[in-house]
Chains A and B, each alone.
Chain A
Amino acid sequence: MADRIFGCIALAIALGYGFIAFTIIEAPFQYDPLGPETWPQILSVFACLCCLYIIVLPDGTRLKVLGSTLMRIAILLILLSAYAYLFEPIGFILSTTLFCLVLSRILGATALQAVVFGVASGTFGYLLCAVILDLNLPEGFILKLLRGLS
């Protein structure tokens, strides 16, 4: 069942892709024999055929995911997105500290462990990557403030 659903979603995407390829993509004037549209057109046709095959003749793959697992993965994704969202505004150190703290706590670390681990990864990560290896990481407002005062 799961692969049928997957096949249907994939088919919808492939059809959308094909629709764009057949109708929207167009060069101002054709100078190469294939143009920008032919290749995506070929791809979309093959992709649609593959999806149809999967829908008609599924191989019985099941999506073996428990509800609680799904919940955890959703939390993970939200955490990651929050990390990405905060990465630049509040800087590497703080965002990494928070992210590592929360995720390790969820994964079973005690509160103390999580705090130590979070702070350590934020500061040591920044020291190692931005200071020693000179990588480009967002410093965030705290460091900016500190440097502004000094």
Chain B
Amino acid sequence: MKLMKLAATSLLCTSLMVGSAFAAAIEKPECIAPAKPGGGFDLTCRVAMLGLKDQLPSLMQVTFMPGGIGAVAINMFNSTRTDDPNAIVAFSSGSLLNIATGKYGQWTENDVRWLASAGADFGAVIVKGDSKFKTLDDLMNQLKTAENSVVIGAGGSVGSQDWMKAALLVKSVEKDPKKMRYVAYDGGGDAIAGLLGGSIEAYMGDVGEMASHLDGSMKILAVMSPERLPAPFDQFPTTKELGYDAEWTIMRGYYMGKNVSDEAYNAWVDAFKAAYATEEFATIQKEKGLMKLNMAGAEFDADVKKRVERMRGIAKEAGLIK
């Protein structure tokens, strides 16, 4: 309701400038998940959809814009929908990695407006419930004998953050990531099917997506977080405490087009800030396997830019960029 008022006020103020008069109103909120359904972007959008239920005039629609690991969305929001006040786009640190490695072509972290965070997630090393690898050490000892002795799979292409997780793991035992046997699936769902079906032996997934899979069919060998996570994930050791320097934090959040009016941007920021304050939002984050990481507006924008800079360093180290 507040938003409606806000929209109405700004509408009055700018009623002469017809073009932007409606930019302020979030009429048909839409969250774009730049992937096929079921993956992390989907999850990110669901958090916004459920979390902002009471802050927006109508229920947010989730649309999918698959392919190109998010490149299509960022391109669209830099070409045709640069000022769309209704749409927010889900991104993750994987998207930031793509920016850092130049995957998005000319678009950099300065070409969109970073809006707000949905929460944080962490990488996880996952095997099938009855795998011969009982602990992370088993897996790493095997990898030490030869990089290509374990078939590792994940939902992203070479150079994606899923690949990075595997690469960091291989690197932590002084082995060459370029030599590992890595199978790229089209999204986490297909990769999980591959793991359960025995096509791949280890899956570099995310903690969050495992929330609905804790039934024993799959086992998390380690989580790639800096410290132990809250329940129900507190039982899993971190890579760090097991002695492997492979940490991967996945930040999830949303961006908007570069030319979105300040009214619309601020309306969204306010909506997120209002949602962060509710108990409900925390519950949703928890349900979706996300850890609390609430930031919106200018503060968030600065944080994201800092992260991209850091990733450029990591990518250089891994040999992804020269």
Residues of B within 8 A of A (CB): 11, 15, 18-19, 21-22, 28, 158-159, 178, 180, 182, 184, 319-320
Contacts and interface: CB of A to CB of B under 8 A. Distances in A.
Interface in A124-146: 136, 141, 144-145
Contact of B18 (A27, A32, A141): A141
B18 A28 contact: no
B309 to A, nearest CB: 21
A29 interface: yes
B43 to A, nearest CB: 24
A31 interface: yes
A148 interface: yes
Contacts of B15: 148-149
A27 B22 contact: no
Contact of A136 (B28, B182, B184): B28
A149 B16 CA distance: 9
A27 B103 CA distance: 12
Contacts of B158: 27-29, 31
A80 B134 CA distance: 62
A147 interface: yes
A145 B21 CA distance: 10
Given A28-B320, A31-B158, A148 B28 contact: no
B178 A29 contact: yes
A50 to B, nearest CB: 28
B28 A147 contact: no
A28 B22 contact: no
A36 to B, nearest CB: 10
A24 B15 CA distance: 52
A49 B22 CA distance: 56
A144 B28 CA distance: 15
B319 A144 contact: no
Nearest to A136: B28
Interface string A30-41: 011000000000
Nearest to A134: B28
A97 to B, nearest CB: 21
Contacts of B178: 29, 31
Nearest to B28: A136
Interface in A16-30: 27-29
Contacts of A32: 182, 184
Contacts of B159: 28
A13 B294 CA distance: 52
B4 to A, nearest CB: 15
Given A31-B180, A149-B15, 19 more contacts: A27-B158, A28-B158, A28-B320, A29-B158, A29-B178, A29-B319, A31-B178, A32-B182, A32-B184, A136-B28, A141-B18, A144-B18, A144-B19, A144-B21, A144-B22, A148-B11, A148-B15, A148-B18, A148-B21
Contacts of B19: 144
Contacts of A147: 22
3 tightest Cβ-Cβ pairs between the two chains A and B: A148-B18, A148-B21, A29-B178
A132 to B, nearest CB: 15
Contacts of B319: 29
Nearest to B63: A136
B18 A145 contact: yes
Contacts of B11: 148
Nearest to A139: B22
Contacts of A28: 158-159, 320
Interface in A23-74: 27-29, 31-32
A28 B320 CA distance: 7
A141 B20 CA distance: 11
Nearest to A88: B80
Contacts of A136: 28
